[in-house]
Amino acid sequence: MKTTFRSLLIVVLLIGGVLTSAAQQPQFGAPKDYVLVLGDSLAFGYQRPKFLITQNPANFTTGFADDFTARVRSTPPGRNAVLVNLGCPSESTNSFLTGPCAFHAVLGWQLHINYEGSQIAAAEAFLATYRGQVGPILISLAANDVFAVSDPCGGLNTPCFAGMFPALLANLSANYTEILGRLRRAAPDAEIITLGLYNPFAIVDPSTNVVAQTINQLIQQVAAVNRARFANPFIPINLGSPQPLTLCTLTLVCAFGDIHPTDLGYAVIADLMWKAAGYTRFEH
């Protein structure tokens, strides 16, 4: 398994060399009228223990989207910023592009903002309506692409997953390239911050960290090509000392078997994205 992942890392490094050659400086832009948040359950602010009690999206306001936007509102240029959260729990890069959001359209749960069709189409429609008024755009995707492979394979540390990993990386690269490319065309002057992966499964198998690290490198490279920034939650959550206490404190995996962040974990992620955006310059 380790040999297989090591070979895949070499492939990603080679791909990265090609992508990096086309990379441009990230787009810098001050906060605008709307903070647009896109992606999966982390974008939504999901926590399973809370969801078992209430499914009302109005009660899910401790995610990184809310923490980040509150901080934007504390700055002079962003004091009137409005959060527009299109996050869809269980969204993958595939479903983000093709739709619909199964959490809402199939299971019937409410989103912070309900929409029909794909999330990318909803985002583009919003950006067209409020052209030049949106920024930053925060996006969290890729974890459910991993689960779509690891679940039927019986885990990350299996020959099945290792065999499927190259195709997973290729699909992620293609989808993330399309997603960021379309967002950049729709919002050429907006700050875009992409969120990488942390690894909640390191609590039982630290060797699986290489999966998150490899995918993070890929997302970072695609982001650079599209003048977007990258925030890496793996650093504070998986590398923060002491372990496993830090992982157990910043996620719900130890207490509830839930891979999502605690309120503190979401706050840490919001701070990472804030620093990646360069918005500390607006704070006094």
User: What pLDDT is stored for residue 110 in this prediction?
Assistant: 98
CA distances from 57 to 111, 115, 140, 212, 252 (A): 6, 14, 18, 28, 19
* 70 inside domain: yes
* 40 inside domain: yes
Assess whether pLDDT exceeds 70 at residue 13.
no
* 24 inside domain: no
At residue 119's C-alpha, the angle toward residues 181 and 190, to 5°, is 45
Q: Are 180 and 23 in contact (CB under 8 A)?
A: no
In this prediction, residue 20 has a pLDDT band, given cuts at 50, 70 and 90, of: very low
Instruction: List pLDDT tens digits, range 94-141.
Output: 999 999 999 999 999 999 999 999 999 999 999 999 999 999 999 999
Assess whether pLDDT exceeds 80 at residue 84.
yes
In degrees and rounded to multiples of 5, residue 225 shows phi and psi of -65, -30
User: What pLDDT is stored for residue 283 in this prediction?
Assistant: 86
* 222 inside domain: yes
Instruction: List pLDDT tens digits, range 258-267.
Output: 999 999 999 9
Q: Tokens 């479903």 sit at which residue?
A: 95
Please report the DSSP string for 107-135 in residue order.
T-PPPSS--SS-HHHHHHHHHHHTTT-EE
* 160 inside domain: no
Strand runs labelled E in 23-172: 34-39, 82-85, 134-140
Residue 33 contacts by C-beta under 8 Å, 6 or more apart in sequence? Answer: 80, 81, 82, 130, 133, 134
CA distances from 187 to 26, 201, 241 (A): 13, 36, 38
Q: Are 141 and 179 in contact (CB under 8 A)?
A: yes
* 47 inside domain: yes
Instruction: List pLDDT tens digits, range 211-258.
Output: 999 999 999 999 999 999 999 999 999 999 999 999 999 999 999 999
How far, in Å, CA of 161 to CA of 101, rounded? Answer: 26
* 266 inside domain: yes
In this prediction, residue 50 has a pLDDT band, given cuts at 50, 70 and 90, of: very high
Going across the sheet that includes 192-195, the strands are: 82-85, 34-39, 134-140, 192-195, 229-231
Instruction: List pLDDT tens digits, range 109-118.
Output: 999 999 999 9
Instruction: List pLDDT tens digits, range 22-47.
Output: 555 655 678 999 999 999 999 999 99
Instruction: List pLDDT tens digits, range 53-80.
Output: 999 999 999 999 999 999 999 999 999 9
What is the residue range of 54's domain? 29-142+176-282
User: What pLDDT is stored for residue 30 in this prediction?
Assistant: 87
The CATH number linked to 77 is 3.40.50.1110
* 167 inside domain: no
Number of domains in the chain: 1
Question: What average pLDDT is seen over the chain?
Answer: 92
